[in-house]
Structure 1
């Protein structure tokens, strides 16, 4: 069977400003770097077959801090990138709420109805996450794989594991920076073994 150890990137400067990142990027804060180092210590005795990250700088930087003592190369896969948000990217939540009030309401309260002409829907993200998982099981059917990705990607993964509709996207747990989720993939089933855990920091 295959176990995925999936982490959200560490806290970034834009996270602290409540600024939407999407496909844009900002640097990890000192807290983000330190939390990633603490997670690396927590996982030091776990053997990984592969390490796969979103190509975004914030995820790769997180991977480097978590895996600083490992000799495994860090692969990248675009299917792990954060949701594309078009004009929202780089704006604060308050700016987005003022400029796109109806769309902003759908994003948070009715995710299945949210659309972004210059970006992606949540279903678009879930489809590429499902594609990533299928290919991963085919290429690496057993062992442990470390995956470094983003908040919305993690949320759609939870929906896939629970066979839940898009409108359950924002159900708990909240995805903190460097939170750890473990998923067991076996005989076509996806089972959540650990959800958004921050025990390495708290």
Structure 2
């Protein structure tokens, strides 16, 4: 039996609704975001879990908590699973960043793997810290299902790392809408992507909500 990694992005926040940059800002879930977390727990509480790992940021903690409460599990919080730091761009819309930091924004759009937001992190920096957590998980758990609750950019970067996709293309190749699930099975031939951007666990009204 192999390890299967379930990557769950946190539920909706005001930032995911507005499309503003939110990396290290410690935002709450919206009421709908809390319902997304409850829907995930209801859908997956019957599954056997070896462990739950998560970002310490509140929106990730609160997304993981309903499942952990249902199963009596404790989240192993890891700083390496936090969202990418957007530096001076935190809380700003893309339009405002483009206006105030145009040249840097254009460079970042072209290759966010090796160009950082002003005062923030490059994709490769996130990959190093997140990969350290993945290495820990795979050393610790040799079979079964492991849930990893994290953030949009960080999940996309981890998936690029596992699947051999250039970090500079993480924004162009991988989708991760709010409360979505990606599933990667660690097979004898390497990581196998089983599901991507899966929101089937959400009720119809939540699945239909827009957001980045």
TM-score, with normalisation over the residues of structure 1? 0.92
Q: Distance in 2 between matches of 1:103 and 1:144?
A: 40
Is 1:138 the counterpart of 2:114? The answer is no
Q: Distance in 2 between matches of 1:195 and 1:96?
A: 29
Q: Which stretches in structure 1 are left out of the alignment for 5+ residues?
A: none
2:100 matched residue in structure 1: 99
- How far off its partner does 1:187 sit? 4.2
Coordinate RMSD, CA, aligned = 1.7
- How far off its partner does 1:57 sit? 0.6
Q: Distance in 2 between matches of 1:9 and 1:62?
A: 5
Is 1:185 the counterpart of 2:186? The answer is yes
Q: Distance in 1 between matches of 2:149 and 2:86?
A: 20
- How far off its partner does 1:165 sit? 1.2
1:61 matched residue in structure 2: 62
Secondary structure in structure 2 of the residue aligned to 1:170: helix
Alignment check: 8 A CA contact 1:122 1:166 kept:
yes
Superposed, which structure 2 residues align to 1:33-112 within 5 Å?
Answer: 33-112=34-113
Q: Which stretches in structure 2 are left out of the alignment for 5+ residues?
A: 205-212
Alignment check: 8 A CA contact 1:179 1:197 kept:
yes
Q: Distance in 2 between matches of 1:18 and 1:38?
A: 23
Number of equivalent positions: 202
1:6 matched residue in structure 2: 7
> Judging changes above 3 Å, is the alpha-carbon distance between structure 1 residues 199 and 54 closer, same or farther for their aligned structure 2 residues?
same
- How far off its partner does 1:162 sit? 2.2
Q: Distance in 2 between matches of 1:187 and 1:133?
A: 17
Q: Distance in 1 between matches of 2:68 and 2:190?
A: 28
Q: Distance in 1 between matches of 2:19 and 2:68?
A: 27
Alignment check: 8 A CA contact 2:108 2:117 kept:
no
Q: Distance in 2 between matches of 1:115 and 1:173?
A: 19
Q: Distance in 1 between matches of 2:92 and 2:73?
A: 36
